[in-house]
Structure 1
């Protein structure tokens, strides 16, 4: 692996995965990723994701938008894919221009640079609540975000302020975006969920295991093989919720479409001997709780099986263009000072100048 690709992979590793919707909160997300300075890697990638499942893919090498789920291919005709391809060819050119503009704004020449757009919507099929989001990132940092309530752009960095002013002035397009995220995007999401309901609405029970590398290491509770991804892995001490000296891991994908999550407990041999600790796993949509009981300190330590999960995660993140800027709440954009002078229709990226 060359140095540039290593830098890109390390950047991907630094942020974890996308937030993935629960059994009743469904999500549709598109991830556009433009890159420069990475040999043998597409300069532009688009990935469509529903409830954590990749449903479509396009890159600047193949120049075709293609289905990634059988239920997408079966329910959408060729015209849908042709129109999506044409739209993405235009977006690809905008992203190439935007990377050059961003490099100029940040006074950069050469090197590895990444410009990304994540947009989509969520729908709670119980309450009917909906939400939309449209965000840009550059080199691992927030760059721009659209506020649906005010139909204005938020610029968290001075280099983005000039674009904010330009895009704020296009009130017609901003109203269109608001309409798209509150109506059209939700309609498409409902269609996709219906198409793939046999996959997206299923439940799979987790396997729970406890292990400890050495007597002085934290105890790890690992739940794996579950679906959907919305899970709570927590600890109890003598039947009561226990949060002290607990570290919670991210929810990660397995290569079979299920998920895994770990939680780590630091506990002394004395406490382990005098109290009963257990790990409680609760998966959204499954009524049954899954429990792993921590044996006493004299029991043999469990030895973890080190697999290829991290390596797989890197490959998946790079290939599908997972968003690489820091994971934040959708309201976490802090504006910079303004004193400085088809279902993807919304994703047509305007040039920044």
Structure 2
């Protein structure tokens, strides 16, 4: 479960130059052995705290959160999560009723957060709800109104848009309170979140007739660009870019595969160019540089691929969607039409 949400966080990455806080609430039903309610929080896409219905404890997932917040903080957040669990189970039942469903596997999600650009000072926020992996209702912060494209979300949309006090509360939270907590958490984890680690670059090949993969790993932060040059000119044909994948140590890895015949890269000069934090690593494709199954393939790549495949399978089963667009988290108390109270939101 933790790995699944970490995978979602990586795909839901912030733009370069910005910092972000994100919180994910998920209620599930019909999945044996799977947590019925889960809460996670993340700063700059690093998992910082976690709660599930098995342990019923909101616990830190980084040393810097564990060392900076005391027992009172974690007890308070745990109490909020326990209360939120029941309300989200109610939310899920309400949603099932709206969609005329009485059984089966279903999920109800809330995702919210804020971002801050430490260069420009620009701030932004988002709050979105989803049901069975589809958008249900979301906050349009610019126009300060809730929007939905589904008839099942209209009742809640009208109710929340009529609550002007709550809309103003949302505005204050995402433009001020959330940003204040984000800056506080960034200070807590400065040594980890602000670090820069350059990538290690390898050329990999299954066998002599297989495509050549440029593998960059061990880098932080996650923004990286991998490109190919053919005879010192940009080459985009027959190139397959891989997804960003997290490593267990908090760094990242990514691949780009060149699908050309060996005779072509032997008769031309191909270079893999990996750019990270203003630095470029250029590796020329030659037989001496390529590592194959006959040699050592980096263990990190094998682990990363396995993790990515497992997570994709789990994500498909559960039906999660990657959504594109004060202490602690704000649960939503929903009965008929739902409530949008922010009085019980937790961290930040």
CA shift in 2, pair 1:319/1:273, >3 Å = closer
Written as runs of structure 1 = structure 2, the 5 A alignment for 1:96-107 is: 96-107=89-100
CA shift in 2, pair 1:173/1:43, >3 Å = same
3-state SS of paired residue (1:42): coil
Q: Write the distance in 1 (CA, Å) between the matches of 2:64 and 2:163.
A: 37
2:252 maps to 259
3-state SS of paired residue (2:324): coil
2:286 maps to 295
Structure 1 residue corresponding to 2:23, chosen from 11, 30, 35: 30
TM superposition shift of 1:195: 0.7
2:136 maps to 143
Written as runs of structure 1 = structure 2, the 5 A alignment for 1:147-166 is: 147-166=140-159
Using the TM superposition, name which of 11-20 and 33-42 deviates more: 11-20
1:339 maps to none
Using the TM superposition, name which of 265-274 and 157-166 deviates more: 265-274
Structure 2 unaligned regions, length at least 5? 339-348
CA-to-aligned-CA distance 1:256-277 (integer Å, 9 cap, x gap): 1110011122224453233211
CA-to-aligned-CA distance 1:74-111 (integer Å, 9 cap, x gap): 22233322222222222211210111112122222322
2:333 maps to 350
Q: Write the distance in 2 (CA, Å) between the matches of 1:302 and 1:273.
A: 16
3-state SS of paired residue (2:28): strand
2:172 maps to 179
TM superposition shift of 1:318: 10
CA shift in 2, pair 1:54/1:299, >3 Å = closer
**Equivalent residue pairs, number:** 328
Q: Hey, which bits of structure 1, 4+ residues long, moved more than 4 A? A: 11-16, 298-301, 313-320
Q: Write the distance in 1 (CA, Å) between the matches of 2:142 and 2:15.
A: 24
3-state SS of paired residue (1:289): strand
1:337 maps to none
Does the 8 Å CA contact 1:134/1:145 hold for their aligned counterparts? yes
Does the 8 Å CA contact 1:222/1:263 hold for their aligned counterparts? yes
3-state SS of paired residue (1:308): helix
Does the 8 Å CA contact 1:34/1:114 hold for their aligned counterparts? yes
CA shift in 2, pair 1:318/1:151, >3 Å = farther
Q: Write the distance in 2 (CA, Å) between the matches of 1:215 and 1:319.
A: 34
Q: CA RMSD in A?
A: 3.0
1:334 maps to none
**Quick one: higher RCO (CA 8 Å, sep 6+), 1 or 2?**
1
Does the 8 Å CA contact 2:113/2:178 hold for their aligned counterparts? yes
TM superposition shift of 1:202: 0.8
Structure 1 unaligned regions, length at least 5? 331-341
2:33 aligned with 1:40: yes
Q: Write the distance in 1 (CA, Å) between the matches of 2:7 and 2:68.
A: 37
2:201 maps to 208
TM superposition shift of 1:316: 7.5
Does the 8 Å CA contact 2:98/2:152 hold for their aligned counterparts? yes
TM-score in terms of structure 1 length: 0.83
TM superposition shift of 1:43: 0.9
Written as runs of structure 1 = structure 2, the 5 A alignment for 1:240-255 is: 240-255=233-248
3-state SS of paired residue (1:307): helix
2:185 aligned with 1:192: yes
TM superposition shift of 1:282: 1.4
Using the TM superposition, name which of 311-320 and 20-29 deviates more: 311-320
Does the 8 Å CA contact 1:185/1:343 hold for their aligned counterparts? no
TM superposition shift of 1:61: 2.4
Q: Write the distance in 1 (CA, Å) between the matches of 2:207 and 2:66.
A: 49
2:109 maps to 116
3-state SS of paired residue (2:110): strand
Q: Write the distance in 2 (CA, Å) between the matches of 1:195 and 1:316.
A: 30
Q: Write the distance in 1 (CA, Å) between the matches of 2:6 and 2:43.
A: 22
3-state SS of paired residue (1:203): coil
